[in-house]
Structure 1
Amino acid sequence: MTKNKHNLPDGWQWVKLGDVCEIINGSTPKSTIDEYWNGDIVWITPTDLGQLSTPIIKDSLRKITEKGYKSCNTNIVPKGSIIFSCRAPIGHIGIADVSLCTNQGCKSFVLKENIDQWFLYYYIKESVPELQSLGSGATFKEISKSKLATFPILLPPIDEQKRIASILNEQMSAVERARKAAEAQLEAINQLPSALLRRAFNGEL
């Protein structure tokens, strides 16, 4: 790693992403075999990640059966894993709230003991532009498992990770509340002309 190791706060260190999690590949059962599909195994794609309204993954657009799971090289990862789209596009991200597997467009980060899931979620999310720059490929950009494994992470002690993540969660919740309030105000503004017209033609003005 080329990151500067000097002038870090006490207990902070540069590590590789592969040091703090196991990176798991995904795969896709054959789409022409009906018995592989419409099962009860959550199967995440970049499209699923791109449609998340919150960071939490609870379900998928399509599910696969046990036969479909066994037919390909995807892997079920546990609740709490971070799911990252590594192509088409690079950069969608979520946290698994259920056990699930993914297609080949995603990588799953199964966390080890020295990393907080929310801290890593926010770190990866903030690092998306840098990760996108590491992508390669002629048809579409993709970031490989090996490049992800060596991606540098600035890691504080676990208590500090949790403190930082808690602050970010609180601030992000406040941002979301403000966004919803702004959307409600905008909707009211957009409805105002119609309301004025109705009042006018009802003789209420």
Structure 2
Amino acid sequence: MLYSFLQNINDNLERQVQAYFQELFVDNADPAWTLGTISDLGTVVGGSTPSKSNPEYYTEDGIAWITPKDLSINKAKFISHGENDITELGLKNSSASIMPEGTVLFSSRAPIGYIAIASDEVTTNQGFKSVVPKPAIGTAYVYYFLKHNLPVIEGMASGSTFKEVSGSTMKNVPAVIPDTETLTCFNDFCAPIFAHQRILEDQNQSLVALRDSILPKLMSGEIDVSGIQF
């Protein structure tokens, strides 16, 4: 019940932001805005997988390392950790890069189009072409630009076995660069909503963890509920 209530609040906030993005950047787009590429919005960063054969490269509490599978499980807007973390040694012996909070993660294969925002410093495997937004552009615009233009990006993918968006392709996806005033207006609108959504997602994740820890004990009889009056 509480989970659904919090999720409904989060969904309503998300609809508000999506509607505002549509109003500012689609319905009322200024023809004078500059046409560029995603490289004008931020730095495109790939990822890497440290050798799985070396257990010293992985840990339960280290550097966050995200895979597309993590985003398939975690449907939240924000992510700080995946199923596995990597060690400093694993980072050093791979081409993975630490990306800052606010980076927009974009899965570039298997499948294309999982999108999330890093709520802390993270690394990813090679299944991503993430975007570190330029300060003048901001995380919010990059996030919704990618979501809005996902069909275009998918159409630019190539590959015989499975479709993939390469680094060079991602960098050259056409992008509109709005004026600073409009971007500032959008980012200022999004900032408190994003902060609220992060809190809501954290609360829901805590509820899920609590449920997952209690339910097996209830099923096994470890927790006695026979004396509870319903």
Q: Output the TM-score relative to the length of structure 2.
A: 0.66
- Report whether the alignment pairs 1:32 with 2:71: no
Q: Counterpart in 1 of 2:221?
A: none
- Report whether the alignment pairs 1:147 with 2:169: yes
Distance in 2 (alpha carbons) for counterparts of 1:105 and 1:113: 25
Structure ranking higher in helix proportion: 2
> Which residue type is aligned with residue 160 of structure 2?
A
Q: Counterpart in 2 of 1:16?
A: 37
Distance in 2 (alpha carbons) for counterparts of 1:33 and 1:66: 13
Q: Counterpart in 1 of 2:119?
A: 97
Q: Counterpart in 2 of 1:52?
A: 74
Task: Return 5+ residue gaps in structure 2 as ranges.
Answer: 1-27, 201-230
Structure ranking higher in strand proportion: 1
Task: Return 5+ residue gaps in structure 1 as ranges.
Answer: 1-6, 177-205
Q: Counterpart of 1:122 in 2: which secondary structure?
A: helix
- 1:85 equivalent among 87, 102, 107: 107
Q: Give the root-mean-square deviation of aligned CA atoms.
A: 2.7
Greater gyration radius = 1
C-alpha displacement of 1:8: 6.0
Q: Output the TM-score relative to the length of structure 1.
A: 0.74
Task: Say if 1:147 and 1:131 are closer, same or farther in 2 by CA, change over 3 A.
Answer: same
Q: When the two structures are aligned, how many residues end up with a matched partner?
A: 169
Distance in 1 (alpha carbons) for counterparts of 2:75 and 2:127: 20
* Contact 1:81–1:117 (8 Å) recurs in 2: yes
Distance in 1 (alpha carbons) for counterparts of 2:32 and 2:102: 25
> Which residue type is aligned with residue 65 of structure 2?
W
Task: Say if 1:159 and 1:57 are closer, same or farther in 2 by CA, change over 3 A.
Answer: farther
